Amino acid sequence: MKLTTAPIHAVSRWVRRQPPKVKAFLAVVLGMAALVLLRFIVHDHDNLFVAAEAVHSIGISVLIYKLMKEKTCAGLSLKSQELTAIFLAVRLYCSFVMEYDIHTILDLATLGTTLWVIFMIRFKLKASYMEDKDNFALYYVLVPCVVLAVLIHPSTSHNILNRISWALCVYLEAVSVLPQLRVMQNTKIVEPFTAHYVFALGVARFLSCAHWVLQIMDTRGRLLVALGYGLWPSMVIISEIVQTFILADFCYYYVKSVFGGQLILRLPSGVV
């Protein structure tokens, strides 16, 4: 085991010594390498979006297992779950009125489990809810997302309300994990099930981002034209990239902790 983890620890120490700009460059290079690998491994890139939904569902399942086994919701952000439920509900509505497909079924299942988690935190396990740590003000993300959705949305032939709703769920999804990151920032220690859940979110976000990037590459940019004109196509890609990089730092420390054999994830200051 020591022979296996020694190179990993050496690389980890080297990365930690690098300045922020070098770390950002390494993250971009690693992301591009992963995209190239996915492009050759996955032939139908639509499957990446389905995979992203599936991984998100797995993450929620981990939360359900935690709540049922440990009978505690300590370390979980109720506000993140509520934001997730909002964007899933809006996206589910858009799926029903705009494009009913496999994504609709996956969103319905994920929304149902998310609402169950919210119910458990609010009522059944309220005594263990760390309300003082879950102190992210939701209006900091809700108001900007609503304003952006009204100003920048698809230019398709659908009803204006549906187009604004579509944009709103894209923007909300990009920032829905921020309250959970604030909780982890406040506690500095992340127990295993919560860490698994947030890592699953990071993987799901990356797969979703990879889906969009590879689809654009496959269509030689025609997908951007299909999304409409103006700023909307750019905002879709920016939202996908933002939600991926928001969790990139946490995922690095998660992988490092797993390879180091640590069950409890301890985050350095300023990580999230």
Question: Could you report the per-residue pLDDT of 233-249, keeping only the tens digit for each?
Answer: 888 888 888 888 888 87
Q: Residue with structure tokens 């990365």?
A: 15
Question: CA-CA distance, 239 to 83, in Å (whole number)?
Answer: 16
Residue 68 near residue 219, CB atoms below 8 Å: no
Higher pLDDT, 141 or 271: 141
**Residue 204 one-letter amino acid:** A
Identify the band that residue 44 occupies on the pLDDT scale cut at 50, 70 and 90. low
The CA distances from residue 158 to 86, 89, 172, 198, 207, in Å, are: 21, 18, 20, 34, 27
Query: Of 163, 173, 1, which is closest to residue 83 (Cα–Cα)?
Result: 173
| Averaged pLDDT for residues 192-213 | 85
3-state secondary structure (DSSP) of residue 43: coil
Distance (Å, whole) CA 220 – CA 237: 15
pTM of the model: 0.80
Residue 13 to residue 108: CA distance in whole angstroms: 43
Give the range with max mean pLDDT: 4-18, 99-113, 141-155, 255-269: 141-155
Q: Kindly state the average pLDDT of the residues 16-32.
A: 59
Q: Are 153 and 166 in contact (CB under 8 A)?
A: yes
CA proximity to 31, closest of 244, 265, 261:
244
Phi first, then psi: give them for residue 186, nearest 5 degrees.
-75, -35
Q: In whole angstroms, what is the distance from residue 263 CA to residue 64 CA? A: 19
d(CA 164, CA 98): 13
Q: Hunting for tokens 């705009």 — which residue is that?
A: 98
Token look-up 């940019």 returns 221
Distance CA 243, CA 272 (A): 13
Strands (E), 54-100: none
